């Protein structure tokens, strides 16, 4: 039996929620679309966002203008600003994605030059867009604990971001990066395998097809596995 659960302490304003969706204790969700079987954890704040089915947001997250693909999940204390995140991504705790930059080319980097909170901004002043550059995370990306993905970065499909990394430049598909600033460590697979996985786009398959072929996704991508995936994708899309 389908259900929608909003905890009595949650604040829910202009939210379109799919079936079997839960918004838990003291969460605040506004102007947001939630797909089926989404979960918004305790004390999380979500505004102006869209989440596909089976997205799990753990407690104490802050997400503003986020677009999050199906089956992606976040850990505790994760912050996402004006960013697009693909399907089947694994975000650990204390992850920061897409925070706005301060313009260090001006006399001051203080936010009074674009925010009215301090009472110094002229009422007719044209405010520059701190989020004009895109921040895009591909599909099947693993971002480990305490990593920071800076504004303007594009992370390719299948990439891995090591714990504590500060990512200031684009990350190629299926590349492991780490450090401050993050640098490439190695590729997860050979170029041939990467190209085949990119073409397969398994994350676009229907959920029942993935479930029925679980062992293919739980295997090392050798020739037998890749051939099976290619055949599955030809039939399943």
Report the catalytic residues.
102
Reported as type and span, the H/E element at residue 229 is: helix 223-236
Angle at 195 between CA 213 and CA 155, to 5 degrees: 95
CB atoms within 10 A of CB 141: 25
CB 173 within 8 A of CB 159: yes
3-class secondary structure, 116: helix
Question: How do the residues of the chain divide into helix, strand and coil, expressed in percent and rounded to 5?
Answer: 20, 30, 55
Strand bridging mode 28-34 / 45-47: parallel
The DSSP code for 171 is B
Strand bridging mode 175-178 / 183-187: antiparallel
The DSSP code for 200 is H
CB atoms within 10 A of CB 72: 24
């Amino acid at each position: 039996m389908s259900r929608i659960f909003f905890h009595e302490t949650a604040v829910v304003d202009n939210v379109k929620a799919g079936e079997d969706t839960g918004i838990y204790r003291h969460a605040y969700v506004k102007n947001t679309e939630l797909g089926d079987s989404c979960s918004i954890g305790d004390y999380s704040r979500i505004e102006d966002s869209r989440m596909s089915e089976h997205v799990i947001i753990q407690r104490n997250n802050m997400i503003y203008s986020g677009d999050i693909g199906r089956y992606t999940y976040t850990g505790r204390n994760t912050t996402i600003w004006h960013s697009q995140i693909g399907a089947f991504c694994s975000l650990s705790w204390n992850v920061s994605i897409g925070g706005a930059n301060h313009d260090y080319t001006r006399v001051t980097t203080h936010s009074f030059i674009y925010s009215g909170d301090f009472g110094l901004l002229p009422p007719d002043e044209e405010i520059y867009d701190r989020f004009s550059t895109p921040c895009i995370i591909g599909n099947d990306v693993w971002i480990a604990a305490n990593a920071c993905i800076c504004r303007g970065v594009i992370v390719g499909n299948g990439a891995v971001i090591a714990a504590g990394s500060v990512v200031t430049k684009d990350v190629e598909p299926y590349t492991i990066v780490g450090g401050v600033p993050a640098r490439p460590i190695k590729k997860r697979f050979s170029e041939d395998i990467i190209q085949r996985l990119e073409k397969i786009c398994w994350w676009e398959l229907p959920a029942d097809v993935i479930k029925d072929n679980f062992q293919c996704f739980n295997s090392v991508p050798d020739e037998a596995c890749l051939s099976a995936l290619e055949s599955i994708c030809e039939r399943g899309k």
